Structure 1
Amino acid sequence: MFFDSMSEFWHMGGYGFYVWLSFGATLICFVGAWAHTVYTRKKIIAGVRSFQERRARRKSAAKTERVL
């Protein structure tokens, strides 16, 4: 579809509001999904790191108990 001016492009034959609203809603959904993924990944990595540290402390404590 060709437009004679930028104004016609933005108005899109009277449907511009709905077209740009749908683009905006889609963009918001994509950004929200991306942000949720990043947040969840950070939480999972922090949980795994915490688990590994806890495991190392317990292993170290078990070695100390055997020595005593």
Structure 2
Amino acid sequence: MSAEVTWFKSSYSDGGGHDCVEVAIPNGTVHVRDSKLGSANGHPRITISPATWAAFTAELRGSRVEPPM
């Protein structure tokens, strides 16, 4: 993944830069990582489709979405 990717911290971050999830959305994919691990290559992250991310975040908010066909 390129260094040009912009990561966004969760709005639920504790404000001190700890305990948060970061998300990047380059080229039609969604990348999610734990910000405590830093940005160096090799740190764990998951890569999922935008539809999967939308379903995941909708579930967290308590609303159900239909999976894409």
> Do they fold alike, i.e. is TM over 0.5?
no
Q: Which has the higher strand share?
A: 2
Q: Which has the larger radius of gyration?
A: 1
Alignment TM class, shorter chain as reference: under 0.3
Pick 1 or 2: higher relative contact order, CA cutoff 8 A, min separation 6: 2
Q: Which has the higher helix share?
A: 1
